[in-house]
Homo-oligomer: A and B are copies of this chain.
Amino acid sequence: MGKGRVTVIDIAKAAGVSKSTVSLVLQASPLVNESTRTKVNAVMRELGYVYNRGAANLRQANARSKIIGIVVNDLTNSFFAELAVGVDTVVQSAGFVQFLSNTSESIDRQREVIASMREHGVSGLIISPARGTEAVDLKPLVMAGIPVVLVVRNIPGAKVSSLVSDNHAGTFAAVEHLAALGHSRIAFVGGFPDTAVFDERLGGYRDAMSKTSTGFQEELVVSSAPSRAGGVDALVRAMAMPEPPTAAVCFNDAVAFGVCDGLRARRIEPGKDFAVVGFDDVIEAKTTVPALTTISVDPQGIGQRAAQMLLKQINAGKPEAESAVSSVRLIVRESCGAAMNKPGRKMA
C-alpha cells in the first residue's frame, strides 16, 4: 500500500472493464450503463483512487485546468483577505480551486508568481496589481489568451477586464453628507498622490466641494501614507492651518483611524467636535469607538463579482474584456456626528 499510485488502469482491471470506460465514469458521462458505473465507483473507493489532474489536462490542451489564480498586493491588509474569501466562495462552488499568492507590493515577486501560475496552467487570474505594474507586464497573459480580471487598481492600456469601486461617487457622497451637516471646511486627508485610486477619490471630493458655497480649495488637500500612522501625521499638518478644518474625508479607513487617534491626542473628540469619514468599511469600522462613518465597498462582494466575471470569460471561448464599477454606499455611523441620539453616548 502507498507504493505505486493507483491509476485508471488498475481500476479497469479490478472492475473487469476497459480504461476508457473508467474514464467515462470519471467524467460522469451518460453513455455508461448504470450498473457498470456503480461497480466502477465501488472499486475506486475500495482501492483509494486519486484523480490525476496533471495527466488529464495534459491531454485536453484546449480546456485548461480547474485552477484559478489570485494574486494580491498585501494579504496582511484585511481588505484583501476578505476579497480572497469572496473569490473563494464562488470559485469553489464552480468546481475550481484557488491558488493564492501575495506580492507584498513587489513587482519582481509578482512576475515570479504569475509565471509560476502559468506553469501550473491556471484557467484565469484575478489580480490586484502591485504598485507600479504596467500594461506591458500583463501582455504575455493576454497574448496567451488567459482571462484576467484586475481588481481594486486598474491599469490603463491593459486589454483585460477590471472591477474597481466607484471611488468618485464615494467621496462625492461623503462631502455632500458633511455639507448637509453644516460643515464648510472639509479636508481631504491621506493617500499617495501618484495613484489612480487617489486621483479618483480626490476627484469626487473636488467635484462635490465645487458645488458648495465655499468651493474647492487646494490647501484642504493633505496627502500622506495610506496608513494609520499616515493619518496621524496628516492631521497634525491639517490642524496647523490658520483656519483648520472641522471635518475630514479620509483616503481610507486606516487613515481615518489615524485621524481619530490624532484628534484624541489633542483632546478633540471625533464624532463630536470634529467629523471623520473613512473609505472601505473594513471589518473593524463598525465595532470601533466611535463607530466609523465610511464608504462601504464590501470586499467580499467585490471578490465574488470578480470571480463571476472571470468564470464568464473562461466559459466563453474568447476572453472579452469588460470594465465594471462596483457601486459604493455611505454608511452613517458615529464618527461624523450625525447619530447624536445614540444611547450610551452623550453629545453636547
Contacts and interface: CB of A to CB of B under 8 A. Distances in A.
Interface string A108-126: 0100110111111100000
Given A54-B58, A92-B112, A97-B113, A257 B119 contact: no
A140 B102 CA distance: 30
Given A102-B85, A102-B88, A65 B75 contact: no
B88 A101 contact: yes
A119 to B, nearest CB: 5
Interface stretch (A13-21, A36-44, A163-171, A281-289): A281-289
A287 B261 CA distance: 7
A265 interface: yes
Contacts of A52: 58, 119, 121
A132 interface: no
A144 interface: yes
Contacts of A102: 84-85, 88
A231 B267 CA distance: 26
Given A99-B97, A100-B100, A84 B92 contact: no
Q: In the assembly, how many copies of this chain are there?
A: 2
Nearest to A263: B289
A38 to B, nearest CB: 20
B100 A48 contact: no
Interface residues of A, number: 59
A50 interface: yes
16 contacts: A2-B143, A4-B61, A50-B115, A50-B118, A50-B144, A52-B119, A52-B121, A53-B120, A54-B54, A54-B57, A78-B78, A78-B81, A92-B101, A97-B99, A97-B120, A99-B100
Interface of A: 1-2, 4-5, 48, 50-55, 57-58, 61, 65, 67, 75-76, 78, 81-82, 84-85, 88, 92, 97-102, 104, 109, 112-113, 115-121, 140, 143-145, 228-229, 257-258, 261, 264-265, 283-284, 287-289, 344
Given A48-B140, A76-B78, A98-B101, 12 more contacts: A4-B61, A50-B118, A52-B121, A54-B65, A75-B82, A75-B85, A76-B81, A78-B81, A99-B100, A229-B287, A257-B287, A261-B289
